Amino acid sequence: MHHQRTTGLTATQFATLLTALTNQLIWGKPGGRPPALTPAQALKTTLLYHRHNLTEELLAEIFTVSQPTISRTINTIEKALAKVFKPLEQPLKMSLDVPGSLVVDGTLVPTWNWRSVGKTNFSGKHKRTGFNHQVICTLDGRLLVITDPLPGARHDAHAFTA
């Protein structure tokens, strides 16, 4: 399988991630009906969904399963990946011990237009809904921190102080 083109991972990286995932996840219920997708297909489906922004309907067509199966699979794999990557999370330090200057900038991560939420996530600057994240990196582009999301209606200056 050519994982590099579709998932952005080399075959070794994909295999390592799959091994870590299967250690964190019980795939299929004992004595129950076998899952429609293998763990490798489930991981690839989730990575395709996030990397290429494919719809669940298209992924269902590609893997010849139903859209609800794809939805359940992506939710299951996302939760398992969160557990796998939890030990790698590092808390945000108030003083970053990095020599030189840092670049701090805010970015809006677009989300669905949830009318029921009101205008808390609507960014007047970008004219769309989303979450505001602050990104901190070095001058050479090495990413240091991406902050937790704030409502998109919040200005970058407020997000920085928060």
Condensed to tens digits (0 to 9), the pLDDT of residues 4-45 reads 778 888 889 999 999 999 888 888 778 888 889 999 999 999
CB of 127 closer than 8 Å to CB of 153: no
Which domains are assigned to the chain?
A: 3-88 (1.10.472), 102-161 (no CATH)
- Strand pairing category for 128-138 and 102-110: antiparallel
In tens, the pLDDT along 43-89 reads 999 999 888 888 899 999 999 999 999 999 999 999 999 888 888 77
162: confidence class by pLDDT, cuts 50, 70, 90: low
In tens, the pLDDT along 122-135 reads 555 555 667 777 77
CA distance 10 to 114: 37
pLDDT at 34: 87
Q: What pTM was estimated for this model as a whole?
A: 0.61
In tens, the pLDDT along 91-137 reads 655 555 666 777 777 776 666 655 545 556 555 555 566 777 777 78
